[in-house]
Amino acid sequence: MSSAEGERLPAIVAIVGPTASGKSGAAVAVAKRLGGEIVSADSMQIYRGFDIGTAKPTAEERGGVAHHMIDVADPREPWSAPKYRNEAMGAIEGIRGRGKRPILCGGSGLYLEALMRPLGFASHRGDPEARAELESMLNEPNGPQQLRAMLDAIDPESAARIPIGDARRTIRAIEVYRATGKTMTECRKEDSRKAGGIRTIRFGIAWDRAKLYARIEARVEDMMRRGWVEETRRLSEAGAFRTGTAVQALGYSEILRALRGEQAVPDAVDAIKRKTRNYAKRQLTWFRRDGEIEWIDADAMTPDRIAETIIERIIRHDAGRCD
């Protein structure tokens, strides 16, 4: 499909927001109304078997709407934003080829950005020796702290965005700077001015902080009732946590420690709730930097009304009108 043809098609819809904000339900309702198919932008729902802990929508929750980029990878398989972009772009082209509207839905900011911008910096393979040198610091006393200090000095914006415990992305940001002489933040800004990103209308679902935290806690408790411990046990026995990026999936490490007898299950649940709240904060920080997201204040709305509000705004966009 040529770029001119892409410009004539309706803009792709993206529904984003923090975990437990109701993105999936809204996306399904919008897809049903507008004749769309959903492309997941969740970095962990790509993995087969990671169902309960990633809040992967069930067949009933999908409501007969086709979903893409879910269950496409083995848990031992490493994934990256460029790889996601390649696969998701194929799904988007297929959806448009069927005369349907692609609807992006997810909370993985880097994956969404990989679609909306070309992420040229991500294609740089780097120097294996330099990477090995940085990785070796992880085994040194205070090594992880030294890496974080290094990144903070080089690129404080990336340091604020990357979780403290995410050594892989910390090393990657340092590696990009050493290889290109530019910070990852600078590379992102350059990428945003390049051609290659898809045209989107972006909506974010926002909640009062206390209400969002209550939704997160209720979701974690529901996941435990649905068998998250048993799911983690099966995945562990299948070797899903030995290699690949699936080991970073939120909450599974806490349950694994409980299964090994290193902590009680209630303590694991409390830790998961705390980490999920912190993750939601980071998601909001990421998305709030995007001035093109139209935020929906969900506090006083039913799920149906959230979806209707998004649909109304999409229709106005398609008609060439704005508020």
Tens-digit pLDDT profile for residues 140-173:
888 888 888 988 888 888 888 787 778 888 888 8
What whole-number distance in Å separates Cα of residue 184 and Cα of residue 122?
9
Examine the fold and report which residue of 171, 191, 211 is the final residue of a domain before the chain moves on.
191
- Strand 200-206 to 101-105 pairing: unpaired
Per the confidence metrics, is the pTM higher than 0.85? no
User: Does the residue 266 lie in any domain?
Assistant: yes
Average pLDDT value for the chain = 87
pLDDT at 124: 53
User: Does the residue 309 lie in any domain?
Assistant: yes
User: Does the residue 258 lie in any domain?
Assistant: yes
User: Do 214 and 291 fall into the same domain?
Assistant: yes
Sequence-distant (≥ 6) Cβ neighbours of residue 64 within 8 angstroms: 32
Examine the fold and report which residue of 145, 174, 191 is the final residue of a domain before the chain moves on.
191
User: Does the residue 281 lie in any domain?
Assistant: yes
Q: In this predicted model, what pLDDT tens digit does every residue of 67-119 receive, in sequence order?
A: 999 999 999 888 888 889 999 999 999 999 999 999 999 999 889 988 886 55
pLDDT at 6: 45
User: Do 201 and 229 fall into the same domain?
Assistant: yes
User: Do 312 and 207 fall into the same domain?
Assistant: yes
- Check if the beta carbon of residue 246 is closer than 8 Å to that of residue 240: yes
User: Does the residue 310 lie in any domain?
Assistant: yes
CATH number for the domain spanning 292: value is 3.40.50.300
The stretches of the chain forming alpha helices (DSSP H) are 3-8, 23-34, 59-62, 81-97, 109-116, 128-136, 143-154, 156-161, 167-180, 184-192, 209-225, 228-237, 252-259, 265-288, 303-318
User: Do 309 and 238 fall into the same domain?
Assistant: yes
User: Do 81 and 199 fall into the same domain?
Assistant: yes
User: Do 13 and 104 fall into the same domain?
Assistant: yes
- Check if the beta carbon of residue 166 is closer than 8 Å to that of residue 151: no
User: Do 186 and 199 fall into the same domain?
Assistant: no
User: Do 259 and 135 fall into the same domain?
Assistant: no
User: Do 235 and 111 fall into the same domain?
Assistant: yes
User: Does the residue 159 lie in any domain?
Assistant: yes
User: Do 8 and 88 fall into the same domain?
Assistant: yes
- Identify the band that residue 1 occupies on the pLDDT scale cut at 50, 70 and 90: very low
User: Does the residue 323 lie in any domain?
Assistant: no
**Domain hosting residue 31, numbered range:** 3-118+195-318
What whole-number distance in Å separates Cα of residue 121 and Cα of residue 118?
9
- Identify the band that residue 323 occupies on the pLDDT scale cut at 50, 70 and 90: very low
CATH number for the domain spanning 149: value is 1.10.20.140
What element of type H or E holds 38? strand 36-40
Examine the fold and report which residue of 166, 191, 216 is the final residue of a domain before the chain moves on.
191
User: Do 11 and 43 fall into the same domain?
Assistant: yes
Average pLDDT over residues 233-252: 90
* Domain total of the chain: 2
User: Do 45 and 74 fall into the same domain?
Assistant: yes
